[in-house]
C-alpha cells in the first residue's frame, strides 16, 4: 500500500531504487505506487511527487503529476530529482519545488530514436546517473543500450 508517515507506519509497494539528496534524505522510486518518496534522516516518509497508487502520465505540480512504474533515480547538481519513468518510456525531472516535467522522451510511446527532448524515444528506461558534466546517463532496458541526455 501507500502511506506517508514515520518509521514503520509508512508503506511502500515495490520500492525500486534510491539516491541521497544534499540534506541526507533518501529519495526512493516507489515503483508500484507510481510515485517518488522522500525519507528524511529522522525516518519521516512523505510523497515527493505523484499520486500514490495512481498510474498515468502527467507533468505538473507534485500533487497532480503522474508516473507509471518509476524505476531509476538520481539527483543532479541543482537538487533536481531525475527519474526513469519505466512504463511511460521517458525521463522525468522533479524540481526542489516539486514541479514535474519530462526531460526526454514521449510519454507513453516506446521506441528508439535519438533527438531533442520532444522527439527522442526510449523503451522502458530503468537506471539513471548523472556524469561529471551534468549529462543524464540512462539504461534503456528494452533497447539494450546506454543513452546520454544532454
Q: Could you report the per-residue pLDDT of 76-122, keeping only the tens digit for each?
A: 999 999 999 999 999 999 999 999 999 999 999 999 999 999 999 99
- Output the nine-digit C-alpha cell for 14: 515495490
The pLDDT-based confidence of 17 (bands split at 50, 70, 90) is very high
Calculated CA dihedral for residues 118, 123, 127, 131, nearest 10 degrees: -40
Mapping DSSP onto H, E and C, the string for the chain reads: CCECEEHHHCECCCEEEEEECCCCCEEEEEHHHCEEEEECCCCEEEEEECCCCCECCECECCCCCEECCEEEEEECCCCCEEEEEHHHCEEEEECCCCCEEEEECCCCCECCECCCCCCCEECCEEEEEECCCCCEEEEEHHHCEEEEEC
Question: Of all residues in the chain, what percent carry a pLDDT higher than 70?
Answer: 100
- Output the nine-digit C-alpha cell for 133: 558534466
Q: Could you report the per-residue pLDDT of 134-149, keeping only the tens digit for each?
A: 999 999 999 999 999 9
Amino acid at each position: 500500500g501507500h502511506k506517508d508517515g514515520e518509521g514503520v507506519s509508512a508503506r511502500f509497494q515495490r520500492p525500486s531504487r534510491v539516491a541521497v539528496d544534499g540534506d541526507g534524505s533518501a529519495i526512493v522510486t516507489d515503483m508500484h505506487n507510481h510515485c517518488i518518496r522522500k525519507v528524511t534522516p529522522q525516518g519521516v516518509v512523505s510523497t515527493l511527487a505523484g499520486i500514490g497508487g495512481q498510474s498515468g502520465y502527467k507533468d505538473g505540480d507534485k500533487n497532480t503529476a503522474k508516473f507509471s512504474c518509476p524505476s531509476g533515480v538520481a539527483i543532479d547538481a541543482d537538487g533536481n530529482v531525475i527519474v526513469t519513468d519505466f512504463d511511460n518510456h521517458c525521463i522525468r525531472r522533479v524540481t526542489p519545488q516539486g514541479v514535474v516535467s519530462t526531460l526526454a522522451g514521449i510519454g507513453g510511446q516506446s521506441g528508439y530514436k535519438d533527438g531533442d527532448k520532444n522527439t527522442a524515444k526510449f523503451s522502458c528506461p530503468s537506471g539513471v546517473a548523472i556524469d561529471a558534466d551534468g549529462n543524464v546517463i540512462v539504461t534503456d532496458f528494452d533497447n539494450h543500450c546506454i543513452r546520454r541526455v544532454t
